[in-house]
């Protein structure tokens, strides 16, 4: 089974590792869409700490990730699922319900996030 997931993966932390490991455990091939710098600005109102090239390098280096690409738009998720022939879409449960409409082309799974860990919180803590 081919699994696809998406994220910014900025200031990479153990929560990222855990969700990617759990996503990979649902299939035998994991494809990861890493948000482009421009998409991150559109989603979060700020540029990422690490560039998309740096974030691609980090995610590509993980032994449980098989393929990585740049996600240019949230609206293209269905196209990415088809392009990478994914049977399962995995997202963090902070997105619960937002991608249910894609259930007609793949199974949609929302995984619990690691409690008390977030990139935004880490960035704020570092700034202090």
- Is residue 32 within 8 A of residue 8, CB to CB? The reply is no
* Burial class (CB within 10 angstroms; exposed 0-12, middle 13-18, buried 19+) of 85: exposed
CB 114 within 8 A of CB 14: yes
Residue 14: predicted pLDDT: 87
So what's the pLDDT on residue 121?
Answer: 55
Tens place of pLDDT per residue across the chain (128 aa) = 999 999 999 888 888 999 999 999 999 999 999 999 999 999 889 899 999 999 999 999 999 999 999 999 999 999 999 999 999 999 999 899 999 999 999 999 999 886 665 555 555 555 55
Q: What angle do CA 15, 54, 111 make, to 5 degrees?
A: 25
């Amino acid at each position: 089974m081919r699994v696809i997931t998406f994220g910014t993966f900025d200031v990479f932390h153990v929560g990222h590792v855990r969700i990617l490991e759990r996503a990979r455990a649902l299939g035998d091939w994991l494809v990861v869409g890493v948000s482009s710098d421009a998409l991150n600005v559109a989603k979060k109102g700020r540029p990422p700490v690490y560039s998309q090239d740096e974030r691609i390098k980090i995610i590509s280096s993980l032994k449980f990730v098989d393929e990585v690409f740049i996600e240019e738009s949230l609206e293209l998720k269905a196209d990415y699922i088809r392009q990478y022939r994914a049977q399962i879409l995995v997202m963090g449960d902070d997105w619960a319900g937002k991608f249910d409409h894609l259930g007609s082309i793949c199974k949609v799974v929302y995984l619990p996030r690691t409690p008390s860990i977030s990139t935004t919180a880490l960035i704020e803590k570092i700034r202090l």
